[in-house]
Amino acid sequence: MGVREILEKEQLEREDLRILLDSQKDDKKLLFRRAEEVKLREIGNKVYFRGLVEFSNICGKDCYYCGIRRSNKKAHRYNVTDDQILDAARFAHENNYGSLVLQAGELESTAFTERIVSLLREIKKLSSGKLGITLSLGEQSREVYKRWFDAGAHRYLLRIETSNPELYRKYHPKNTLHDYQNRLNCLYTLKELGYQTGTGVMIGLPFQDTGHLADDLLFMKNFDIDMVGMGPYIEHKETPLFQYRDQLLPIRERFNVALKMIATLRILMKDINIAAATALQAIDPVGREKAVKVGANIIMPNITPGKYRNDYALYENKPCVNEEPEECKHCLDVRIQLVDGEIGYGEWGDSKHFHKRNEE
Ligand code: SAH
Ligand code: SF4
């Protein structure tokens, strides 16, 4: 079956998804056009901002792909102070960003849990409850997730990274800290606690093909996820996966597959929130805008204080590391208009899917 026929189908099977992900030239254009139509029809052209604060690169884990993994002794570790985090939150609020994302390396400790609780309360206070707060702080116990939810966090991002347990084992050390089933259980817990739940995968990892990626999309559909953030894998010299760099798709091709993943997911899950990942912009200066054109509706402008940005090096060539938040803002206004989008200032921009899921 060709791409044109597949796009007319009510229900997409694994093989259909794989064909869409492998599409080239005119077929790829058909896919992109359909994804754009679906997005405009289902959720409109609004793009919502989540100010991203990458507040610490101190991490207790050792994921084989990540530049800030615990064993990378060359990483210069930092921890933004609470006051600076609150300043960033104030910036997001004053500039009508609607929401904030607090992201960091993974730490499990009472001190860390309590630090986040007090930050959540302060951020709620300084924005009179207006700023939405997303957390992306890895795997935690149910009690911790619940404490954070009760303190004001309402969305959580935890990428499954790959939905294939065998691949997962290849990308992580073999110990309980890096267990596929634990990560999956965390996603179920987050959903059960009432969080708008987000996941995602990396695209173009070694050993991964479009069949795996089709399975990843079905995983998101079957899990009935509310939000997705996924982007290309970008190798980092000081990591174990770097040894496979010769087996990877060329970086430009990884970027293309990432766009096709976003477009296909928009067709598969019409009303969820899909983020245009920063890693897209690391490859193409207008990568995030291209993603918005083919289905994404969330952008996470980096509002980490400028001097720390270089050190949150999950991968190499991270974009905008030399800019301050104020500069990003103007830059983004113009960029989104270029792809006929409109920024939803001052709105939370919740996943429509989440609200529908809870009405049923
Ligand atoms: N520590 C938390 C959140 C920070 S890491 C966690 O792991 O959940 C955020 C995301 O960065 C990860 O989920 C992973 O998908 C992505 N990432 C890490 N290394 C990467 C790389 N080399 N290329 C692209 N994305 C990467
Ligand atoms: Fe730590 Fe997240 Fe990087 Fe894994 S991906 S090493 S948990 S920061």
User: 222 is written with which tokens?
Assistant: 């079957």
Rounded Cα–Cα distance for residues 216 and 21 (Å): 12
- Ligand 2 midpoint to CA 301 (Å): 20
Contact between residue 120 and residue 148 where contact means Cβ atoms under 8 Å apart: yes
What does the block give as tokens for 42?
């289902």
- What are the residues whose beta carbons fall under 8 Å from the beta carbon of 179, sequence distance 6 or more? none
Model pLDDT, residue 137:
98
Contacts of 79 (CB under 8 A, 6+ apart): 55, 56, 58
Q: Where are the alpha helices (DSSP H) in the chain?
A: 3-6, 14-22, 25-42, 82-94, 110-126, 142-150, 165-170, 180-193, 210-223, 251-268, 278-283, 287-293, 325-338, 352-359
Phi, psi of 104 (to 5 degrees): -165, 175
Q: Which pLDDT tens digit goes with each residue over 167-180?
A: 999 999 999 999 99
Q: Tell the residue number behind the tokens 């009510």, with chain if given.
A: 10
**What is the number of the ligand closest to the CA of 54?**
1
Pocket probe mutation, ligand 1, options 71, 167, 241, 314, max atoms within 8 Å of Cβ? 314
DSSP class of residue 204 equals: S
Is there a contact between 192 and 185 (Cβ–Cβ < 8 Å)?
no
Angle at 187 between CA 185 and CA 192, to 5 degrees: 95
CA distance 296 to 75: 32
Question: How crowded is the C-beta side of 300, counted as CA atoms within 13 Å?
Answer: 26
Atom of ligand 2 nearest to the CA of 161: 5
* Best of 55, 63, 72, 101 for a ligand 2 pocket test (most atoms within 8 Å of beta carbon): 63
Q: Give the ligand whose atoms come closest to the C-alpha of residue 239.
A: 1
The pLDDT confidence band at residue 139, using thresholds 50, 70 and 90, is very high
Compute, in angstroms, the gap from residue 161 CA to the centroid of ligand 1: 8
Amino acid 163 reads S
Phi-psi region of 320 (alpha: psi -120 to 50; beta: other; left: phi over 0): left
Which residue has a Cα nearest atom 12 of ligand 1? 159
User: What pLDDT digit, counting tens, does each position of 30-53 carry?
Assistant: 999 999 999 999 999 999 989 999
What contacts 251, CB < 8 A, 6 or more positions away?
Answer: 232, 234, 283
Average pLDDT over residues 53-68: 97
Query: pLDDT for 150-196, tens place per residue?
Result: 999 999 999 999 999 999 999 999 999 999 999 999 999 999 999 99
pLDDT at 317 over 80: no
Q: How far is the centre of ligand 2, averaged over its atoms, from the C-alpha of 67 (Å)?
A: 8
Distance CA 181, CA 126 (A): 38
Q: With bands split at pLDDT 50, 70 and 90, how would you rate the model's confidence at 360?
A: low
**Atom 13 (ligand 1) nearest CA:** 159
Kindly indicate the confidence band of residue 334, based on its pLDDT and cuts at 50, 70 and 90.
low
Can you give the pLDDT at residue 328? 67
Q: Which residues line ligand 1 (CB under 6 A)?
A: 65-66, 103, 105-106, 136, 138, 158-159, 161, 202, 233-234, 236, 279, 314-315
CA of 360 to the centre of ligand 2 (A): 35
Look at residue 211 and tell me whether its pLDDT is greater than 70. yes
Find the 69 Cα to ligand 2 centroid distance in Å.
6
**Using CA atoms, how far apart are residues 132 and 93, in angstroms rounded to an integer?**
10
Please report which confidence band the pLDDT of residue 316 belongs to, taking 50, 70 and 90 as the band edges: confident
List the domains of the chain with CATH numbers: 12-359 (3.20.20.70)
Closest ligand 2 atom number to CA of residue 57? 8
66 CA closest ligand 2 atom index: 3
Residues with CB under 6 A from ligand 2: 59, 61, 63, 66, 68-69, 105-106, 138
178/176 Cα distance (integer angstroms): 5
User: What per-residue confidence (pLDDT) applies to 125?
Assistant: 97
> What average pLDDT does the segment 106-124 reach?
98
